[in-house]
Structure 1
Amino acid sequence: MPNPEDAGQESTTRPARRWRRPRKQRPFWVELPILIVVALVLAFVFQQFFARVYTIPSGSMETTLHGYAGCYGDKILVDKITYDFTDPEAGDVVVFKGPEAWVGDEVTTTRSDNAVVHFLQDVGSVFGLAPPDERDFVKRIIATGGQTVQCCDDRNRVLVDGRPLDEPYIHWQDPARQWQDSFPPVRVPEGYVWVMGDNRNNSCDSRCEEQGPVPVDDLIGKARFIVLPPGRWGTVD
C-alpha cells in the first residue's frame, strides 16, 4: 500500500514549471499577405489538376453558354478529372485543346504589349478572370468513337448511326436560316469524338474543312456549372 508521506515527498521535490512569456501575436496586416499567397497557391493547384474556371470566348455555344469577344462571356467550372475514370459521352459539353488542324478564328483574345499587364492577364486566365491565350474550345459531343454521324434527314436532324438526334439546345442565330449545313456520313475513329456548337450555323467545329473529329486525349474536361455572372448560375446541360 503506498505511503502518503512518500507521495507528499515526491510532490515537494518535483521541479517547478518554468514561466514562459506568451508569444506575441502577429498583426493582421502582417499575416494577410501570407494568407493571400497560400490561398492563391491552393487555388492554382486546384485549377491545374481538379477543376478550372474558363471564360467563354465566342458565341458558338449560344444560348447554352453566352460568349463574347473579350472577357465578358459566361464563366464555367470545368471538371478535369471525370474523363480519367469515365469515357466521354454524346451530349457532354466539353473544353478541349484545339488540334493543329483547327483554326483559331473563334478565339480572338489578345495580350497587352505591356509586360505587367500581360502578366496580370495570364494570371487572370488561370483563375477564369480573363480569356485564355491558348487555343481552347468549348463544344458539345455529338458522336463518339465507332459511331457514324451525318447531316441531315428530311426534318433537318443530325443522324448518329442512322438515328435522328433530339437537340432542343440548338440555337438559330439567323431565324431566316434554320437549316443545317449537310455533310455525308463520317465514321468517328476510336479514341476520337465528333463535336458541334449549339449555335449551329455560327460555329466552326468538326464539320469545318480539315478539322474533323477531336482526339479524346485533347479533352481538358467536362463543363459542369456556370459560375458567373450570378444571373446565369446553373448546371450546363
Structure 2
Amino acid sequence: MVTHCYEWMEALISSLIAVMLLFTVLLRVVNVSGPSMLPNLHNGDHVLLTSYFYQPQPGDVVVIMHTAKLADPIIKRVIATGGQTVDIDFKAGRVYVDGNLLDESDYIRNGITTQPSDYTYPLTVPEGYIFVLGDNRAVSNDSRSDEVGMIDERYVLGKAEIIVFPFNRFGTIT
C-alpha cells in the first residue's frame, strides 16, 4: 500500500516537472493587450507561443519582450528581417519589402494611415533585427515609431501559433 502511494507521488511529481519544463522552455501562453492586432487577435486573447530555436520569418506574429523605450511585451507581425529593405507608401496604404508589394489581404484591418513615422523610407533592416507592424495600423505602436523601432531578434520571446482562450476563438493564427 505504501509502495503504491510513493509510486503515485513519484509519477505526479515527475509529470508536474515535465509540464513546467514544457511551458517554460518550449511553449508559453501570453495574454494579448490592446487593439493593435485586430481583427486577428483581440484584447484579452491568450495565445500559445513556440520559442525553442525560433528564428523570425516575414509574416509571423511574434511576442517581443521589450524594446528600447517600452517596458511591456508587445505582439506584432514581422514584416522584414535583417538585410531586407522596407518602403511604405503612406498615402496608398501599401508596404513594400525589397521592392515587392506585400499581399496583406489575409490579415490587415486597414492600410498604413497617413500618420507620421519617425523614420525615412525606404530603410534597410540591420542584420539581427526585425521590422514589425500591427495588423490594425491606425492604432498600432510598431517599428514606424522610435519607441519601438527595429527589434533586436534577441528580444523576440516566440511565435504566436494558436489562440487558446477564449475557447470560442480557439484556432491557429494567420
TM-score, with normalisation over the residues of structure 2?
A: 0.84
Greater helix content: 1
Question: Number of paired residues?
Answer: 169
Distance 1:153 1:207 in 2: 11
Name stretches of at least 5 consecutive residues in structure 2 with no aligned partner.
none
- Aligned-residue CA RMSD (Å): 2.7
What residue number does 2:133 align with? 196
> How do residues 60-209 of structure 1 correspond to structure 2 at under 5 angstroms?
60-67=36-43, 73-83=44-54, 87-99=55-67, 101-104=68-71, 135-152=72-89, 155-168=92-105, 169-172=107-110, 179-181=113-115, 183=117, 184-209=121-146
Distance 1:156 1:77 in 2: 30
Greater strand content: 2
TM-score, with normalisation over the residues of structure 1?
A: 0.63
What residue number does 1:124 align with? none
Sequence identity percentage: 39
Distance 2:3 2:62 in 1: 51
**Is the partner of 1:206 in helix, strand or coil?**
coil
> Residue 80 of structure 1 aligns to which amino acid in structure 2?
S
What residue number does 1:236 align with? 173
Deviations 1:91-144 (A, max 9, x none): 000111112x2335xxxxxxxxxxxxxxxxxxxxxxxxxxxxxx2111000011
* Counterpart pick for 1:214 among 151, 156, 160: 151
Task: Decide whether the 8 Å contact of 1:180 with 1:200 is kept in 2.
Answer: no
Distance 1:24 1:219 in 2: 46
Distance 2:158 2:3 in 1: 47
1:59 Cα deviation (Å)? 1.5
Higher Rg = 1
Deviations 1:167-210 (A, max 9, x none): 121124xxxx9735365211100010000111111111111124
Name stretches of at least 5 consecutive residues in structure 1 with no aligned partner.
1-21, 68-72, 105-134
Distance 1:23 1:78 in 2: 41
